[in-house]
Amino acid sequence: MCGICGKLYFDGRDSERAGIEAMTDVMEHRGPDDRGVYIDGPLGLGHRRLSIIDLSSLGRQPMMNEDGNVAVVFNGEIYNYLDIRKDLRDAGHVFRSQSDTEVIVHAYEEYGTDFASRLNGMFAIAVWDRRKTELVVVRDRLGIKPVYYYMDGGFIAFASEIKSILEDPGVPREVDLQALSNFLTLHYVPGPRTMFRGIMKLQPGHMMTVSRGVARIRRYWEVRKDESVVNRMRKAGEQEVAEHVFSALRESVRKRMQSDVPVGALLSGGLDSSAILGLMTELSGRPVHSFTVGYSEAGDDSVSEFRYSRKAASHFNSSYHETVVTAERFLDCLPRAIWHQDEPIGEPASIPLYFVSRLAKENGVTVLLTGEGSDELFAGYNRHWGEVLSRYYMLMPGVLRDGVLNPLIRMLPRSPLLKKGHRSMSIRDFRERYMSWHTVFPDDLKREILRYDDSKSAFKDVFERLMPATEGLDDIDRILLLDLSVWLPDDLLMKKDKMGMAASVEARVPFLDYTFVELAFNIPAGLKVRRLVTKYILKRSMERLLPDEITYRKKEGFPTPISRWLRSELKDFTMDTLCSTGALGHGLFDKKVVKRLVEAHMSGREDHNRMIFPLLNFEVWHRLFLGMEASPRFNYL
């Protein structure tokens, strides 16, 4: 795990070492163990190293081949590097280190730009080919590792973090208004945009080749249905599929335990993280370090999962560690977290991720295995069983639906989940139904709060780009593809990477081994949601490993007491940030609408925490990166 950056000039200028050093050093947290800079005429590469594999100086980057015509910087881990290394040695390549980076160098020599399709891992890689004067930048298939870029007529700059690109004073610091609109709708910014106008994300499974001032981007991988595999799954018995899932996940965990530094598990006490911990324990044959985080109301199970994480840790005799986040710690960390994340944080769960990563680091653990990706592969969210319910709802005769069912639903306590689920079930259009689960600011309110007409453009470009690949899929599989392609990399994986790296900790995600993803995506939807039981086949596969209390517990996500905190411990901060005389100085929001939302929440009449928290984060982000407090050398380390 590291940080990479670079710049390539098109207008005849030579790259300057001081500029690359500045880009590199602002990401010191991503790699506190070493720094490397490479300059070759118009091209400059920078690297920060967090030593995981081959801790010796031979693993330093940027790394060149023998004749110096290929240079590589790399962030991530290649789990099949030993197999590729053997093939390359058989082909005549000579190695001088034990690092996976050197495998990339020789793989590019041997296979050209097809090298990426041979890698199994998480990665953001830049390759400079001196002979071709060509820069190649590639991102892993699922988007586990980030890479951003900015390009104008004179140069292209890229980096693992946006703040590195902003070290160049020539890069504008302006809000991308479409990205802001998307953020208000989704509480994150879907790629390829970022909140900075002109700074883009290289999408998962894509490669960018830059030569003679022209950038060409192509997709080298996408998950697809293989009908022959699907048919085999349908013919196989349920138990056989469950066994296949278990053995494939076990192998993925085994690969991700490769390390020359201590490895632990991020534990919530849910199915996914408990399964990872159990498999790690089984594979290692000894207790594994596990880490969890909760809130100050630790005795209240609605805001803390300690009860379940302790049970899982005890079941596997884990060396278990906890940390507690109070409102005071939460507020103190917020600007730091936003700075590390480069963009506004739409949900409060990002903050605890930082604290639990720091807890691991304080206990000598540099690598954490986590459970991200399971819900997007096996249908673990409310929207997945909601999609199943919507089928039955639409099949009901209108008289029965409108005359009996709807009145009964309206008589039930109006929880936010029930309200959203009922509204979603009644929407016939798939796109609108999918968006109803994700939307934070409804379109009418968003048009009211923004000082420009959005005309329902949020998410449209992303959805239309993905939709051709979902033709012929079951609606559950269509949702999973969208979740896997957008929600997962642009929200969950982004904050996991940034918050882990803020503490110099590497997060690895066994559920997102691309071979496991291809297997899971081809499992029939009926084995993922059965009789409204989500992740059905995964739960069946883990029955041998986990107690039923954990396997079949109700999914709770990562609940936070933010709604109450906004009315109490965070009230002064909220009012000052959003409603004071000097607030909202950027002029992008209508102050009256913001004040109305805040006052309604403070009074207890309505719960607007899901709208207020993104607004708070945008305000802090704007001050740090674009306002009077912004500085290219701003640092919360």
- Catalytic site includes residue 579: no
- CA–CA distance, 566 with 614 (Å, rounded to integer): 12
pLDDT confidence tier of residue 295, bands split at 50, 70 and 90 = confident
pLDDT confidence tier of residue 298, bands split at 50, 70 and 90 = very low
The residues spanned by each domain of the chain are: 2-219, 227-292+303-334+365-378+482-551, 394-476, 562-625
Q: What is the 3-state secondary structure (H, E, C) of 87-107?
A: HHHHCCCCCCCCCHHHHHHHH
Tell me the sheet residues that pair with 135. Answer: 128, 210
Residues of the chain above pLDDT 90, percent: 67
Name the residue with higher pLDDT: 405 or 576. 576
* Angle between helix 327-341 and helix 350-362 axes, rounded to 10 deg: 90
What per-residue confidence (pLDDT) applies to 296?
Answer: 73
pLDDT confidence tier of residue 426, bands split at 50, 70 and 90 = low
Q: What is the pLDDT of residues 570-602, one digit of tens each?
A: 999 999 999 998 889 899 999 999 999 999 999
3 state DSSP class of 79: coil
What's the CATH number for 2-219? 3.60.20.10
3 state DSSP class of 250: helix
Pick the range with the lowest mean pLDDT from 250-259, 319-328, 625-634: 625-634
What per-residue confidence (pLDDT) applies to 455?
Answer: 46
Assess contact for 75 and 122: CB atoms under 8 A. no
- Which of 526, 533, 541, 531 minimizes the C-alpha distance to 476? 526
What per-residue confidence (pLDDT) applies to 435?
Answer: 82
Name the residue with higher pLDDT: 443 or 488. 488
Q: What is the pLDDT of residues 132-177, one digit of tens each?
A: 999 999 999 999 999 999 999 899 999 999 999 999 998 999 999 9
- CA–CA distance, 69 with 67 (Å, rounded to integer): 6
The angle subtended at Cα 195 by Cα 194 and Cα 200, nearest 5°, is: 25
pLDDT confidence tier of residue 632, bands split at 50, 70 and 90 = very low
Other CB atoms within 10 A of residue 480 CB: 28
* Angle between helix 609-625 and helix 571-579 axes, rounded to 10 deg: 60
Q: Does the pLDDT value for residue 329 go beyond 90?
A: yes
DSSP state of 75: E
Listed in sequence order, the residues at least 6 apart from 590 whose beta carbon sits closer than 8 Å to its beta carbon are 448, 449, 450, 451
Residue where the block lists tokens 């595999």? 229
Residue 603, both tokens = 């009074």
Residue 494, both tokens = 């982004």
Burial of 72 (0-12, 13-18, 19+ CB in 10 A): buried
Same-fold call for 2-219 versus 227-292+303-334+365-378+482-551? no
Q: What is the 3-state secondary structure (H, E, C) of 292-317?
A: EEEECCCCCCCCCCHHHHHHHHHHCC
What average pLDDT does the chain have?
88
Assess contact for 58 and 76: CB atoms under 8 A. no
Instruction: Locate all alpha helices (DSSP H) within 403-449, ordered by sequence.
Output: 406-411, 416-425, 430-438, 443-449
* Strand pairing report for 134-139 and 121-129: antiparallel
- Summarize the confidence of residues 2-6 as an average pLDDT: 94
Q: What is the pLDDT of residues 101-136, one digit of tens each?
A: 999 999 999 999 999 999 999 999 999 999 999 999
* Angle between helix 430-438 and helix 416-425 axes, rounded to 10 deg: 170
3 state DSSP class of 320: strand
Other CB atoms within 10 A of residue 12 CB: 8
Listed in sequence order, the residues at least 6 apart from 604 whose beta carbon sits closer than 8 Å to its beta carbon are 567
The CATH superfamily holding the domain 227-292+303-334+365-378+482-551 is: HUPs (3.40.50.620)
Q: What is the 3-state secondary structure (H, E, C) of 199-242?
A: EEECCCCEEEEEECCEEEEEECCCCCCCHHHHHHHHHCCHHHHH
Residue where the block lists tokens 């949601």? 529
Catalytic residue among 2, 5, 333, 579: 5
- Summarize the confidence of residues 194-217 as an average pLDDT: 97
